[in-house]
Homo-oligomer: A and B are copies of this chain.
Amino acid sequence: MSSTLAELDGGATPVLASSAERPTAWPHRHLLDTDVLSWPQIELVLDTADVMAQIVARRRPRSEALRGIGLTNLFYEASTRTRVSFEVAAKHLSADVVNVSVGGSSIEKGESLLDTVRTLESLGARVLVMRYATSGAPYLVARDFRGSVVNAGDGRHAHPTQALLDLYTLRRHLPGGSLRGRKVVILGDVLHSRVARSNLWTLTAAGADVWLCGPSTLLRGFEAWAAAGVGGERRFTVTSDIAAALRDADAVMALRLQQERMAAGLLPSVHEYAARFGLTAERLRLAREGCLVMHPGPMNEGVEIAPDVASSAQSLVTEQVANGVAIRMAVLSLVTSVRLREDA
């Protein structure tokens, strides 16, 4: 059911409106995490993103898909890349975008999250892109909000559009365009990473052999949690042995190290972390030749990733950012298509 350029260009006709006749109908009104996405649904996002990428590449990157639809970016945590990425994606689709960030809002007056969301809905928001420090908050909101909620990062829980853009980027660069049997390493503070969690679902769904690697204090309990969620034939390994993790890897994703982990006593020092788990050129030689390098950003260069690795030819960091716009355009048009279909 991925949409065509011709459909997207059609002024008033909403994207994917005719999805009922297509093999895969997108059923999710919200996107809260990737764990509920079937593989065909994930492929639908990626294929739709391909169409969106063509729109982005135009001299005037504009589709009419969300014309007249109010979208609010509700960010309770500081963010440049994710907020701007959603803003750009939404404007490319002609949505009416409103930004609300914690700094200048009446959240300072102590209003509850649900009250704020109901207010934004009454003011015309039909899509709510939200980032929140507490894990699970978007689920609470989604139960109440009558439009579509897109999770742009909730605590350490989930960051679904990041995982989808990572998968999209990997597919474009792995020979054959498939992750089946590929070894993908997620390296760093796995325990506190919403990026690691959302990527675990998509990467294993794509058939990758996923290795999660970090200091033992930043892995504690993760394996049991993940094993409960990852079923069937999906493969993943949790380890503190970085040599074992990197050996013959096809791709490595370094995670951002939050400085507050030191304060919490989980790590002795940034220096020691960099020495033992930093992604250096030397370590990368353990991996396959041409092993792809990724990072969700913003990077602490010299800590979790060496500057020469970050800027090497193998690094996909800036392409990840660029692909994020196409992925978010795809997600926004898919989640709103559910409502439009129901309304029709």
Contacts and interface: CB of A to CB of B under 8 A. Distances in A.
Interface of A: 12, 56, 58-62, 67-68, 70, 72, 75, 78-81, 83-85, 87-88, 91, 96, 98, 100-112, 115-116, 118-124, 256, 259, 297-301, 318-319, 321-322, 324-325
Copies in the complex: 3
Given A88-B124, A297-B111, A321-B119, A80 B62 contact: no
A162 to B, nearest CB: 13
Contacts of A298: 106, 109-111, 115-116, 119
Given A80-B116, A84-B119, 4 more contacts: A91-B96, A106-B298, A121-B318, A123-B324
A269 B80 CA distance: 40
Nearest to A83: B104
Contacts of A75: 104
Max chain B CB contacts within 10 Å: which of A88, A123, A325? A123
A83 to B, nearest CB: 8
A110 B303 CA distance: 12
Nearest to A303: B110
A296 to B, nearest CB: 11
6 smallest beta-carbon distances between A and B, as pairs: A60-B68, A111-B298, A122-B321, A80-B105, A122-B322, A101-B104
Nearest to A104: B101
B109 A78 contact: yes
A42 to B, nearest CB: 23
Nearest to A297: B119
19 contacts: A58-B68, A60-B68, A84-B100, A87-B98, A88-B98, A101-B104, A102-B104, A103-B103, A109-B298, A111-B298, A111-B299, A115-B297, A119-B297, A119-B298, A119-B318, A119-B321, A121-B318, A122-B319, A123-B324
A341 to B, nearest CB: 14
Contacts of A300: 110
Contact of A84 (B98, B103, B118, B318): B98
A37 to B, nearest CB: 24
Contacts of A107: 78, 80
A133 to B, nearest CB: 13
A107 to B, nearest CB: 7
A116 B67 CA distance: 30
Contact of A322 (B84, B110, B123, B301): B123
Contacts of A322: 122-123
**Which of the listed residues A67, A120, A298, A300 has the most CB atoms from chain B within 10 Å of its own CB?**
A298
B124 A56 contact: yes
Most buried by B among A58, A107, A124, A297: A124
Given A112-B301, A123-B85, A105 B78 contact: yes
Nearest to A74: B80
Contacts of A88: 70, 96, 98, 123-124
A67 to B, nearest CB: 6
